[in-house]
Amino acid sequence: MRPLVLLFLLIALPALAQPRPTGRAAELEALAAGLQAAPSEEAAAKIEGRMRELWTQAISPTALLLIKRGMRELGSAAPQEALDDIEAALVLDPEAPDAYLRRGLVRAELGDYPGALADIQETIRREPRHFPAWQSLSRLAEGREDFAGAIAAWKKVLELSPKTPDGEERLKALTKKLMGEDA
């Protein structure tokens, strides 16, 4: 009997020793599961909003101010200033997935598609559930007429958030574009 208990402990202890997410990470885990099971677009939108809040709260206050200023500058047709501010934010907080996404959006506006793609992929590498990054990746691929890439990224959006507004319609439109049909 003892060898059986010892065998069980040898198998079970490593699994029990795995760190469990706490705080913000645990909430994100729960929200991600809730997002996949959301009963409606409205419920999904609330969950998405909370996830965005948590991602934003993870950014240092100074870096967040720089990101917000950069996005205002982008909206005011000053993309180079926006890029400078967001790059400064990344120096202060190089672990912030949202900062990479924002820099990717600015780089896309500046026509730097390889840089934009690299930043969006870095966002996803750091936070694979970052549905806004997957949405941006899909739009960037579509803009480059890489419809297969746009479809793959959009399928990931729908995997993460099945109740994305007009999600299935967008998938159908991208598929038509891939097939050479009018969308």
Answer yes or no: are the C-beta atoms of 117 and 87 closer than 8 Å: no
Give the mean pLDDT of 30-34: 96
Rounded distance, CA 174 to CA 169, Å? 9
Handedness of CA 29, 98, 18, 22 (dihedral sign): negative
**pTM to 2 decimal places:** 0.85
Query: Cα separations (Å) of 150 from 97, 100, 169, 182?
Result: 21, 19, 14, 16
Look up tokens 């991208």; give the residue.
174
Quick one: pLDDT at residue 23?
Answer: 87
- The tens digit of pLDDT for each residue in 144-179 reads 999 999 999 999 999 999 999 999 999 999 999 999
Which domains are present in the chain? 59-127 (1.25.40.10), 133-183 (no CATH)
- The tens digit of pLDDT for each residue in 79-125 reads 999 999 999 999 999 999 999 999 999 999 999 999 999 999 999 99
Ranges of H-type helices in the chain: 2-16, 23-36, 41-57, 61-75, 79-92, 97-109, 113-126, 131-143, 147-160, 167-178
Rounded distance, CA 90 to CA 84, Å? 10
